[in-house]
Amino acid sequence: MEDLDFVTPARTKIYDPAVAQKFFASAGTQESVALGKTFFVENERTSGMFSKGAKMYLLLDGEVSLIAKKKELARLGKDTIFGEMALLGQLPRSATAVARADCRAISLDEKQFRRAIARTPDFALMLMHIIVERLRLSIALLIGPRAPSDDESLKKRSVLEKELIADLEAEFEGRPPLVAPARKVIMTEGEAGAFMYVVLKGQVVITIKNRKVETVGRGGVIGDIALIDQGPRVGTATAETECTLLPISRKDFLLFARTKPDFSLFLMKGLAERLRYMNSQFK
């Protein structure tokens, strides 16, 4: 399965071009790319969450071709967002983006992206929904004999920084955390999701169809997929050791997504990492 790094109105009903244009215009820079020139190149590396010069784009005019291994994967038109997954997932570009006509686009680098999230938080929610939609599709295609197995890269995925954990704990001061003894099931695959959880202490194992796919430790988040799109739980979460968890309801999640840009960035990054890993299982 190709890891196509773009969003268009035709690809998902969730995408609202007006929200995207407001987001990019709030902090971005307009750029012109001439016919035959590239926006970015396949396997171009990003170091850290946003490397110096790493950008995502909203295409205003023109046409862009995505090419991987000398094969054209897609042609992108007006209102397409592209380049966001490599940027969020801290991984090399999955394709080369070439202008097939004279193009005009709005770009966002690290600082601009952070400013835009603070100004237009609804875009963060929209992008999270879109990534979750892709992630659910990837997981559905992998269920069965090709179901993913536990992977070292996911064990090393991003965790909340100490300052953000402390900030979230302060928000819930007076509310008792959830304490789960070893082997206790915290959430079950297929059920409705009322909460997501931040792991404050211990380790949680995630299984899909009884296959272990991920281990989440302190600073990790579980249950975010179902909370974001209000769909059924993707997997089962079981305490591997005694765990202390911070429950976050959908109401709290929506508030944090709109008022805490770093929280939104963390969730988008974690979703992007999982999507990249799931899609890698097809290769």
Domain chopping of the chain, boundaries: 6-119, 122-280
Tell me: the pLDDT tens digits for 126-166? Answer: 999 888 888 887 777 766 555 555 544 444 456 777 888 88
Cα 68 to Cα 5, 97, 165, 182, 201, distances in angstroms? 11, 9, 39, 45, 42
Look at the chain and count its residues: 283
Residue 256 phi, psi (nearest 5): -65, -40
Contact 148, 209 (CB under 8 A): no
Structure tokens at 138: 């990837």
Burial class from Cβ neighbours inside 10 Å (0-12, 13-18, 19+) for residue 111 reads exposed
Measured N-to-C along each axis, helices 110-119 and 121-142 cross at an angle, to the nearest 10 degrees, of 110
**Residue 28, number of CB atoms within 10 A of its CB:** 22
* φ, ψ at 267 (rounded to 5°): -65, -40
pLDDT in tens, 9-51: 666 778 899 999 999 999 999 999 999 999 999 887 655 544 5
The residue type found at 193 is: G
pTM of the entire predicted model: 0.79
In the chain, DSSP assigns E strands to 6-7, 29-33, 38-40, 56-61, 64-68, 71-76, 81-82, 96-99, 103-108, 178-180, 185-187, 195-201, 204-208, 211-216, 221-222, 236-239, 243-249
Contact of 45 with 89, CB cutoff 8 Å? no
> How far apart (Å, rounded) are the C-alpha atoms in residues 260 and 214?
26
pLDDT of 11 reads: 66
Q: Phi/psi of residue 254, each to 5°?
A: -65, -40
Give pLDDT tens digits along the chain (283 positions).
Answer: 334 456 766 667 788 999 999 999 999 999 999 999 999 998 876 555 445 457 899 999 999 999 988 899 889 999 999 988 777 766 778 889 999 999 999 999 878 888 899 889 889 889 998 888 888 877 777 665 555 555 444 444 567 778 888 888 888 888 889 999 999 999 999 999 889 999 999 999 999 888 888 899 999 999 999 988 888 998 999 999 999 999 999 899 888 888 888 888 888 888 887 777 776 665 5
Specify whether the CB–CB gap between 243 and 199 falls below 8 A. yes
Residue 105 CA to residue 56 CA, distance in Å, equals: 10
CA 206 remoteness from chain centre: 18
83-109 as b/e: b if 16+ CB within 10 A: bbbbbbbbbebbbbbbbeeebebbbbb
The topology under which CATH files domain 6-119 is: Jelly Rolls (2.60.120)
Burial of 133 (0-12, 13-18, 19+ CB in 10 A): middle
Domain 6-119 matches domain 122-280 at the CATH topology level: yes
Which CATH number is correct for 122-280, 1.10.1270.20, 2.10.10.90, 3.30.70.20, 2.60.120.10?
2.60.120.10
